[in-house]
Amino acid sequence: MTTSDRLADATTGTDTSPEGSASAQYAEHRETTEGRVYTVSGGDWDDVLSDATHDERMVINMGPQHPSTHGVLRLVLEMEGETVTQLRSVIGYLHTGIEKNCEYRTWTQGVTFVTRMDYLAPLSNEMGYCLAVEKLLGIEVPRRAQLLRVLLLELNRIASHFVYIATGGMELGATTAMTLGFREREEVLHLLEHLTGLRMNHAFIRPGGLAQDMPEDFHQAVTAFCKVMDERLPLYDKLFTGQPIWRNRLKDVGYLPVDACLALGITGPVLRSAGLPWDLRKVEPYSSYEEFDFDVPTSTDADCWARYLIRVEEMHQSLRIVRQVLKKLEPGPVMVEDKKVAWPAQLSISSDGMGNSLDHVRKIMGQSMESLIHHFKLVTEGFHVPPGQVYVPVESPRGELGFHLVSGGGTRPLRVHVREPSFVNLQSMPAMSEGGLVADVIAAVASIDPVMGGVDR
């Protein structure tokens, strides 16, 4: 029977198929004023089940609400006993439409959206976005702002890697890793709150510089933090690096060689664990990173164990960079002088930590009407960005985080698209896991360290 005959039979309701009624093969339909409407059901899950015909194979849903999937990640596993024969990653449960939302906000307001993508590295999101806006504007931020940006980025990198140790350890049964990792992360978040006013989602890095300068005692606060980390980081080598159970759980698990990384577009610690020292802070430096002396740790083991060692060493290197920033800092502005762009960096905060100080309000209201109008328009409409498009990448804790921005010459972007490392790195899950044990899937996911806020942006 031809396809046209089957369609004709389905339309007329004639049952000429050997399997039975036409409704068993074709989508149900109903007539409406707009025409015929078909109801189609089924999809990916049915396709997966149809493959599992072997008596000794079973299909298991891991997630999307599972303590070992780093958030709302769903893994569909086909298994033969304890061995994974097929793995599929299913995403989209946390979609927030951040990229599209940015297109309906001013360039400055977009910072408040992008900082919520990878919520473990919000300052990296802000940095990449602002560098792209500044490239479109053709401006360069003051040196003090560049150095303070580096300081914030490296502190944020340390906090993110501590969450990797905490969550990865918890998923593998090492509850001590969870308590210690989050204890150290709290030290970072307390410091970031002191520096920026918020623990997360700071919106502190703005196009043209920073929202405001650091508090007067920030030098002492950062120095004290570095001393605390110098005391605590060696503890992880004692508890985990030299621990045979931890080592055996990660060694030779989640293997992904360098050619597979390049084929899949994998970046960050996963790529460096395969032997390629690709770090954008070194190969394509930004914000004065070329001035700093630090190492890019690599390994050729290409497994979960190597990724753990690399992230621990990266925290030491970040502390090294932070100390160099403190030595290089000199007084100066933290925002460009152009008043068409500089808002809201010139605003001061009132004594309650919120809003604008009364002195600033008096200054604005007491100046000319033109000054007040300019302030109002800059706040409500935003600044104009010349037409064009750019792509600017930065090295986030998870890899290459790139921003592609398109401007039509207005006060809002025409297009915002993000090359998010968690999204790209998740492609490696089947290559890491198929042929291995289901218990090793947990270690492989943890070694990628995906953040679903960035995946489902």
Rounded Cα–Cα distance for residues 365 and 46 (Å): 65
Q: Which domains does the chain have, with CATH numbers?
A: 1-41 (no CATH), 107-343+382-455 (1.10.645.10)
Rounded Cα–Cα distance for residues 419 and 401 (Å): 6
Mean pLDDT estimate for the chain? 84
Q: pLDDT value at position 40?
A: 60
Q: Is the pLDDT of residue 171 over 70?
A: yes
User: For 385-412, what is each residue's pLDDT tens digit?
Assistant: 999 999 999 999 999 999 999 999 999 9
Q: Is the pLDDT of residue 350 over 90?
A: no
Rounded Cα–Cα distance for residues 345 and 422 (Å): 31
Q: pLDDT value at position 382?
A: 85
In percent, the amount of the chain with pLDDT more than 90 equals 45
Rounded Cα–Cα distance for residues 114 and 136 (Å): 17
Confidence category of residue 16, pLDDT binned at 50, 70, 90 = very low
Q: Is the pLDDT of residue 346 over 80?
A: no
Q: pLDDT value at position 402?
A: 94
pTM for this entry: 0.83
User: For 18-36, what is each residue's pLDDT tens digit?
Assistant: 444 444 556 677 888 767 7
Q: pLDDT value at position 3?
A: 43
| Cβ pair 290, 274 in contact under 8 A | no
Dihedral, CA of residue 43, residue 48, residue 50 and residue 56, to nearest 10: -160
| Residue corresponding to tokens 């100390």 | 323
User: For 32-63, what is each residue's pLDDT tens digit?
Assistant: 876 777 666 555 555 655 554 555 678 888 87
Q: pLDDT value at position 23?
A: 46
Q: Please state the rounded mean pLDDT for residues 318-323.
A: 95
User: For 156-166, what is each residue's pLDDT tens digit?
Assistant: 999 999 999 99
| Cβ pair 451, 398 in contact under 8 A | yes
Q: Is the pLDDT of residue 100 over 80?
A: yes
